[in-house]
Structure formats: structure tokens, C-alpha cells
Structure 1
Amino acid sequence: MAATTANLPQLKSAVDGLTEMSGEAHHIEWSKIQTPTDEIVVPYEKMASVSEDVSETKNLLDKLVVLKLNGGLGTTMGCTGPKSVIEVRDGLTFLDLIVIQIENLNNKYGCKVPLVLMNSFNTHDDTQKIVEKYTNSNVDIHTFNQSKYPRVVADEFVPWPSKGKTDKDGWYPPGHGDVFPSLMNSGKLDAFLAQGKEYVFVANSDNLGAIVDLTILKHLIQNKNEYCMEVTPKTLADVKGGTLISYEGKVQLLEIAQVPDEHGKLSMNSNQLRSSRYSTQTTYGLTFLKAIKKLVEADALKMEIIPNPKEVDGVKVLQLETAAGAAIRFFDNAIGVNVPRSRFLPVKATSDLLLVQSDLYTLVDGFVTRNSARTNPSNPSIELGPEFKKVSNFLSRFKSIPSIVELDSLKVSGDVSFGSSVVLKGKVTVTEKSGVKLEIPDGAMVENKDINGPEDL
């Protein structure tokens, strides 16, 4: 339920205890940390695959609910409204692709996998209107709102609405860790249990790689795992995330902020971190519905509070958030699964949009699939200047998206635009320094080149 003025004293108490709570989270006893075995973080390739028997697949899917986190706005990319309605590929939005994927499963196997969208107060109204377009699809779409908490004035530790900030900016959604109590409080969890559903697959709506995986679902059902978190190796592009550890006999998420000082506060971008046992990126996963109900009813999900400082209208505020992954230690027989990198394909910026709109990927039945012509297992590194930050500006600077199947890295800065049918290979840097617009001409093939002006083309 949303926080209101009736429980602001409890909120202030939580803020007052923030230092102590954060301290507990940060000072894990290092000697008790163990590297997870393959039984705790299971290699995906060691899981038994699902047979081609349609009835087996239908039985698995009949137990499943797909839940997408839909509370984010597209403001980072210069858009208004829910981020899930940004067009990402062939004129289709994130939400279009999600609905097409589930509809194809339901049609193929004769099942009824529902789609659930967890909205925030920022995205609720727009989403309610948008989902009307899917009325005739073979997908039952449900929505509910996550909680709504007041931002806290940082230097006073008081709720901002109590000081007169009563509009939307005075409040915030408290992170994706809120998915468990909000699903329960919405009444949706009980309704799905009554329908015979057993597991919920949770993922961000902007992660194009987070599709239903029958192999993982089958493994969880057979082994009675209450929680499964998918993890995948980090790359140079990853700046957030934690890793799974074995701690006092249970699997637990370790965030980099929890690494004791004496063991080094490693940069999330450092080679040392990426090559160490910390080098995983969380992609969310599957959770047992009955276990969620039991833990929420018992008020047992005591996840670490993450203080997220922000500045809004010139005021420094705190948002107290929780992460869904931190809940893993409260579930019985919880595991991680070391999944292929293909299951982690988020679109957080226009540089990611360039990747998924290019010939590096193809689109089949709503699924974004990597082009087999790409021999390098890693995606190209893409850095686009501020001129490309907004989706509208990004699109105006490309007559068509360049071919990047053989690209290693691209760095663009300044007033640069690209013609149609451009091919980029190797390491390419394009920098406009003269104050004159620089355009890569139609049909240009640029390979291992630094371009600073028309003379370099």
C-alpha cells in the first residue's frame, strides 16, 4: 500500500534508522562468504532441456505468470510517458514486443499465460489507455500500482509533502523490491493462485532479452526452488549490479557497496572487478507465488534499504528504495542461474537503441535475436554524444541505422549525422570539432578510422 500522512512517523523512524540499517548491510562478515557452487548458481547449459512434447510445454506454461516492471518513464531518452511505449524495432514498442511474444506462446501451445504490468503512479494513467489497443489479442493483461512513498528532505529528515511539496514531485515509487508486497496487496497474487498459477517471471519492460525460458521454469518446478535469480557476466558497458554469493548456507546478493574497505572498493568498471568472483549482472528471474504470499503475510522480507540521493527543484532529497534481488535470501531452496548474455539486452539509452535497431539483431515473432553473422561474442561498444541523447534527436541524425555487424567500437561527438546504407567496421571515432556539421555520406564504408572532418572521409 502507498505511504500516506497517516504513517509518516513510521517513515521518519525508518529514516532515523537508515545509518544503522545501511551499516549492517555494508559490514558482511567477509570470512563467511563462499564462492557459490554449481548447485547454488547453476550453469544454464547443465539444465535439462524441455522435450518437444507440446503437452509438456503447455503444462509448464499453464503454471506461469509474466510480470514486467513498468514504472519507469522515458525521460532519460527525452520521451514522455511510460518507457515501455518507446519504439525500439520495426515501429514496435517494448510493450508491443512483449505482447506479441506471449501471444505467440499462447497460440502455439494452447495456454493462457497472462501479462502483468507493475506500474507506478507516474505511468498508471497512460498505461491504462495504452493497453486498450491489445483488447483483441490472445493475452490477458493485468495492471496494478506499486507503492507511493514521500521523498525525504535530506538535511532535515522530514517527508517533503509535509513541507508543502504535495504534487507528484514530492513522491516516488520505492524501487523494484516493492514488487512482492504490491503484487500481494493488489489482490492479483491470490487471484493467480486460485487459477493454478505457481511461478511469476519478473523482468524490466526494457530488457529485450528477458523472454520466457522453459528450461529454467522446468528446473525450478522439478527441484522445488522458491526463487531463481538470473545472472550473466558483466561487460564494459555494465556499471551497476551485484553478484550472488553463498553466505551462511544460503544464496545472497552482494552489492559492490557491501564490499568491506579492506577488500578494496573496486570500480564497477574495473578489469579487476570484471575478472573477479563479483563479475555478474542481475537480470531478474522466477519466484514461487505461494512463497511470496507466505513471506509478505509474515512481514519477513526485511530487505536492505538503499538510500538514493537526488536533487529535485533545487532541493536535495532522499529516496529509500529496495531491490528485488535482495529478497533472495529469504526464500527456501533459492538458486541463481548463470544464463547466456543474450538474456540481458536492456535499452537504457540511445546507444543501446542503436544496437537493437541495427543489423546486429533480427526480429522474429516478437523476439529480438542476435545476427549469427556476428562472430565476436560481445556487442560493439557505443558512445554517442549529448546531441544523440533524446530519441527524437537520435532518429533525426540517421537516415538509416548503419550496418555494425563487424564493428568493435563507435564513439561520436559533436554535430554529426549519418547517411543511408553506411557500414561501420572495427574501431571508429567521429568527432566534429570545427563547428560545421559533419555528415557521413550515403553508402560510406568506414573501417578503423578517426574522422574529424570531411577530409578524413
Structure 2
Amino acid sequence: MTRPSWEEIQSSIQERMRSASVHDICIQDFLEKVGKVYEGATGLVDWDTIGDLLPDDVVEMDALPLPENTEAISKFAIIKLNGGLGTSMGLSQAKSLIRVRRDATFFDIILQQVHHLREKTGLQIPLLFMNSFNTREDTLNYPGIAGVNSALELGADFLQNQVPRLDAETLLPVGDGNHGSHWCPPGHGDIYNSLWISGILETLLSRGFTHAFISNGDNLGAVMHSGIAHHVISEGLDFAMEVTPKTRADIKGGVLYRSLTGQKRIELLETAQVPPDHKSDFEDISRFQDFSINNLWVSLESLRDRLQKGPLSLSLIVNQKSYEDQPVLQLESAMGAAVGQFDRTRMIRVPRKRFAPVKSCADLLVRRSDACELDENKALVLRATTEPVVQLDDNYKKIQDFETYFPEIPSLLSAHSLTVEGPWLFDAQIRIQGDVRLMNRTGAQKRISSLKRTGFKDESVKP
């Protein structure tokens, strides 16, 4: 099939996006990405441009002084990414509706964190959710969210943009644009355009909120830290990113490097951008010792000044998908990639406790267990010395099945790893210590209570 001319592709995309009332800034930004693909860009980096960070690029959070006053915190708004549906866990609603602790959902704990911070500081710190079209209704209908900023006369959310999915061969938009499957989110790098287009950026600045702390909604370890807030403001930083030391479990996590070209700024490198023949280099923990946990500290004044010059040219991520058995492209960007747009940037190396994501039901089992707890700031942090590695087979992949199989949550406080094979009904309290493997290969569901034991340590267990 012959690819249409650039003029035809551009016209088709503009027509599709304008018919859906997508803002011109977003259209301009998306066309820039499509143009790169049209010219042959794959989203992969030139490995020869990857340099090492400088010693002063990273500071230790634990070495930062904790200010005695709340002046720095008073300048910050808190923003949570909340556009995901949790489809990988079999959910068709906002992922933040999932119950994480007893009867507390992600939403509940985020609200607890912010109300606790407000009570502790006496400040009305804004909490904003960046929603997608898929999650906005679930979010604003949740008790306590719509009016969370009522004292500030500020809404609770703003909307992420949407862009067309493209036929991989022609680069034309798929379908007719009248169905949700014809559209996709442009990655969380869209947050900057969304803040600008929605007017939230200017509103926050006009209220005296000069900075934002941005994190994933499913990372309940990401709470305000007065030391980081003070450091960002006192050092006049445009942009700071939290990183934490890599383990073998984190080898696919995004890393930071110094570009050897252009202005030699700090840049973010995601696994999707790594050439296949350099995967082992990317996963080399001795070179890339830390990875980004997507907790960002951003000067809104610097962001506004940069956006006034035009959309951010964030590194392109080409996500290959399938639609009606045809290959399609989703063109995305990561919000951490904005670090390369600014001069005054820094990495903050933080303890692992500030990274508590839930990407799967295995993660959820750890968060619900006694290996984690809510600390004095309502952050969900690890109690255990190291995070237990949990592997659940496909019987537990979907949240509905997970809930059915785990009416009781095993103790993982002393666990190093837990592997569960086959259908087990966790109908009794048990304690896991060391490395334990539960193997049910009978094809029939087995009850944990049938084992007539209360604990397992460094062993493989069969029915």
C-alpha cells in the first residue's frame, strides 16, 4: 500500500481532531510527532548520545534539611495522574476505585493524605486529578472528591487530551472517530498541554501556587515532603525528579542520563526507546543505578514561560497496538521527559518507601498485606525490610478473580517471595516466611485450610 502524502495525512488528522473539538495546541503537538514518524523516526534513541550523569545531578533526600516552617509547602499544588482504567487487571472503571487497604480505595487514601497534610500545616493545599474521558465521571462522583478544593473555590480535576490512533502503514486515523477505540491518550507527557489548555496552570499561579508535586495516582507512597519542597524552591530549580536505587526487579524502569549532544541536558530514557541491541546496556545496574519513580516537582512559572514558546518537544514513544486485526500506532510521551526542556534540573534520590505502585494483582496483594502499613503521613509504606516478590499465575490476573480467591490475605511480613500456581482459595490466615511456592497442578480449586497449617517457610507446597 502506498503511503499518502504528508499533506493528505496532516489534513486528515486535523479534520479528525477538530471535529472532536481538540485544542489547536494539542493538534500542533500531535502533528509534530506524526511528522517525525513520517520522516522515519521510530522513537528509539541513538545510543551514542547517552552520557553519564554528573556528580551534582543527584542529591540524597535524607541529606536535605527539613525546614521549621511551611513556607515552601504553601507554594505547592498536588496533582495526581488518574487517567487509567486498570484494564490490565480486568477493570473497566477508574483504577483508583480499587480497594487497597481493608475498605479504603486509592481515592480514600489520597484524600486522607491531603486532609492530614492540611490539618498538620494549616494550609489549604490544592489536590487536582488529571482525568481521562474514561475516568472523569467515576472520579467526580466519588464521595469527597468533587468538593475537595471548595475552600479554594477550585475544581477537583482537569482533562487529559485524546489523539487519534493511526494506521501503522498509512498514518491515517483509524475508523471514523465516533467510537472510543478510535482514540487513545497521548501518554502522561500530555499533562503540560492539559494544564495549559484547561487554564489550571494560570489559575494556580494567580492564587500564588508557583509549584506542583505530580505523581501517579496508584503510587500511595508519593506524599508531600517538606525537605524536597524547600530544596526545589531555595535552589531555584525548574524541574526535579525522584529516583530510587534499582534492583533486578526494576531493570525496565526509566533512567536518567546526560545527553552528549545539543545543550547536554539531563534526559529521561524509557525502555520503549531503547534499541534492541542495547537492552542489556540499559538494564546494567552498575551504570544506571537509579530509576525514575515518576514523582515530579515542577516550577509552574518555568513551565508557563516554556509553554509560551510553544508545545514541549518531548521524546517520542511509538506504541504498537492492534485494532480490528490491523497494526496501529499510538504516539505517546512521558511526563518525566520534560526534564530535558529545562536548564535548572536535579534528581532527588529517595528511599524505596516513596514508590508503592500497583500495576497488577500481585502488587495489590503486597499492598494489602502486613508487609505494608500507612505511616503517620498516611503514605502506604513498606514495613518489611525488603519488598516481597509475589508471582501469581493467570488465575488471579483479573481483580474479580483475585477478590474471590483471596478472602484472607496471607502475612508477608517475613516473606522474601511467594509464588502461587493453580487455583488456591485463601480461606484461612497463613504466614509466609522466606521463599514459598504453592503449587496446585490438579486443575481443581484447593483450599488453603485443607493444608491444616498456619505457616510456611522456605518450601514448595502441593495439595
1:257 positional shift? 5.2
How many matched pairs?
436
CA distance in 2, matches of 1:202, 1:311: 31
Equivalent AA in structure 1 for residue 267 of structure 2: Q
Moved over 6 A (4+): 6-10, 136-139
Alignment of 1:142-221 (within 5 A): 142-160=156-174, 163-221=175-233
Aligned to 2:3: none
Q: Secondary structure at the match of 2:129?
A: strand
- Could you tell which deviates more after superposition, 204-213 or 277-286? 277-286
Aligned to 1:420: 428
Aligned to 1:399: 407
Q: Is the 8 A contact 1:397 1:418 kept in 2?
A: yes
1:392 positional shift? 2.0
- TM-score, normalised relative to structure 2: 0.87
1:76 aligns with 2:88: yes
Q: Secondary structure at the match of 1:130?
A: coil
1:234 positional shift? 2.2
1:274 positional shift? 2.7
Aligned to 1:49: 66
Q: Identify which of 232, 250, 258 aligns with 2:265.
A: 250
Q: Is the 8 A contact 1:107 1:138 kept in 2?
A: no
Equivalent AA in structure 1 for residue 357 of structure 2: P
Q: Identify which of 106, 109, 114 aligns with 1:97.
A: 109
Aligned to 1:291: 302
1:310 positional shift? 1.1
Report % sequence identity.
Answer: 32
1:327 aligns with 2:329: no
Equivalent AA in structure 1 for residue 269 of structure 2: L
CA distance in 1, matches of 2:268, 2:149: 38
CA distance in 2, matches of 1:321, 1:280: 20
1:447 aligns with 2:457: yes
Q: Secondary structure at the match of 2:356?
A: coil
CA distance in 2, matches of 1:191, 1:11: 25
Equivalent AA in structure 2 for residue 93 of structure 1: T
In the TM superposition, what whole-angstrom CA distance separates every residue of 1:304-356 from its partner, at most 9, and x where no partner exists? 21111112333321110011111101113111111111111100111111111
CA distance in 1, matches of 2:195, 2:17: 16
1:34 positional shift? 2.8
Aligned to 2:4: none
CA distance in 2, matches of 1:225, 1:390: 42
Aligned to 1:233: 245
CA distance in 1, matches of 2:28, 2:222: 39
Equivalent AA in structure 2 for residue 17 of structure 1: K
- TM-score, normalised relative to structure 1: 0.88
CA distance in 2, matches of 1:69, 1:12: 24
1:266 positional shift? 1.4
1:11 positional shift? 5.4
Alignment of 1:273-352 (within 5 A): 273-277=284-288, 279-299=290-310, 301-352=312-363
In the TM superposition, what whole-angstrom CA distance separates every residue of 1:182-207 from its partner, at most 9, and x where no partner exists? 10110111111111111101101001
Query: For structure 2, which runs of at least 5 residues remain unmatched after alignment?
Result: 1-13
Q: Is the 8 A contact 1:4 1:149 kept in 2?
A: no
Q: Secondary structure at the match of 1:4?
A: helix
- Could you tell which deviates more after superposition, 306-315 or 185-194? 306-315
In the TM superposition, what whole-angstrom CA distance separates every residue of 1:156-184 from its partner, at most 9, and x where no partner exists? 21111xx4352111001100111011101
Q: Secondary structure at the match of 2:312?
A: coil
Q: Is the 8 A contact 2:79 2:215 kept in 1?
A: yes
1:362 aligns with 2:357: no
Q: Secondary structure at the match of 2:436?
A: strand
Q: Is the 8 A contact 1:175 1:322 kept in 2?
A: yes
In the TM superposition, what whole-angstrom CA distance separates every residue of 1:27-75 from its partner, at most 9, and x where no partner exists? 1544x713331x2111222222223xxxx12x22220100000110022
CA distance in 1, matches of 2:86, 2:350: 28
Q: Is the 8 A contact 1:103 1:138 kept in 2?
A: no
1:224 aligns with 2:236: yes
Equivalent AA in structure 2 for residue 452 of structure 1: K
CA distance in 2, matches of 1:229, 1:143: 23
- Could you tell which deviates more after superposition, 354-363 or 230-239? 230-239
Query: For structure 1, which runs of at least 5 residues remain unmatched after alignment?
Result: none
In the TM superposition, what whole-angstrom CA distance separates every residue of 1:144-167 from its partner, at most 9, and x where no partner exists? 11111011011221111xx43521
